[in-house]
Structure 1
Amino acid sequence: MIDINNDSLLREIIIKHFLTPTNKTLTNNKNAIIRELKSQTCADQLIIEILIENQIIKSMKFDGLACAIATSSIDLLINNLINLNTKKAIELIKNYQNFLLTGTLINIDQLNELVVMKNIHKQKNRILCASLALNDLLEILNKDE
């Protein structure tokens, strides 16, 4: 469990997932769903690739250029979504959206390392960075249910 009161550790995790994201490479799987994401407020541009089989997220990757918050947010989110069924994934994303907007932790265990974004709600311009992929992911997952 992460000490959410250790701001230095939280920043370190964000920077780690920005500089060396574990999910930044597309597989070019012909069965995957691809979405291009472009921020309306900055230069962040990402491509997400998601493979869902039998309502289970089997693979999810991303590529592109984005700020530290957008990159680390999608990388951490992917770590939490892999192998979830679409219903649980939707629940997690909605919990994360609420957390980004309010800073309120409803289910800390569900968010895991995503708690590093605990102060984003205080920086309104960063909420868009951290949530760049969320609406598209919800749309994709809701279609699969």
Structure 2
Amino acid sequence: MIDKNDKILLRQIIMEHYTEPDNKKLINDSNSIIQKQDSPTCSDEIDVQILFNNDLIINCRFDGTACAIATAAADILCNGLKNLNLKKSLEYLNNYHSLITGEKYDESLLEELIVFSDIFKQGNRLNCALLAADGFKKIIMNEVK
């Protein structure tokens, strides 16, 4: 478990996902769903992509240009969403949203996303941290219908 009080470690994790993201670049699969996301407060623009097999997320990707917070969040979210079904993925995203907005959340479900535990104190960073999450949630909500 990551110590959310170790600010140096948290910065290192964010920078690692920003400079060397594992899930950047969209896959070429016509069965995937892509959602364009752009920030209302800055120039961040990313596309998020999910590939489902029935109700299971088998791949999750993103691409575009964004700040360290938005890029790291997108990359970590991709890692966490893979292999989740629709219900669990919504629980995961809703829990993350609670973390970002300073509401009650379940830390045991967050893994590396805990690096964003203090983002709610920085109002100008909320959109950055939620950019990919909101796009993934839109895709998943469309699949639930």
TM over 0.5: yes
Give the aligned residue type for 1:6: D
Provide the secondary structure at the position in 2 that maps to 1:102.
coil
1:107 is displaced (CA, Å) by 1.6
Provide the secondary structure at the position in 1 that maps to 2:128.
helix
Q: Which runs of 5+ in 1 are unaligned?
A: none
Asked if residue 93 in structure 1 is aligned to residue 93 in structure 2, the reply is: yes
Q: Tell me the residue number matched to 1:62.
A: 62
Asked if residue 2 in structure 1 is aligned to residue 5 in structure 2, the reply is: no
In structure 2, C-alpha distance between the alignment counterparts of 1:142 and 1:103, rounded to whole Å: 22
The aligned runs of 1:13-32 (5 Å cut-off) are 13-32=13-32
Question: After superposition, what is the alpha-carbon deviation per residue over 1:71-118, rounded to whole angstroms, capped at 9, x for unaligned?
Answer: 0001001110000001000001001001001064x2212100000001
CA RMSD of aligned residues (A): 1.1
Distance 1:97 1:88, change over 3 A: same
TM-score (norm 2): 0.95
Provide the secondary structure at the position in 2 that maps to 1:8.
helix
Q: Which runs of 5+ in 2 are unaligned?
A: none
TM-score (norm 1): 0.95
Give the aligned residue type for 2:141: N
Does the Cα contact within 8 Å between 2:77 and 2:133 map onto a contact in 1?
A: no
In structure 2, C-alpha distance between the alignment counterparts of 1:129 and 1:10, rounded to whole Å: 16
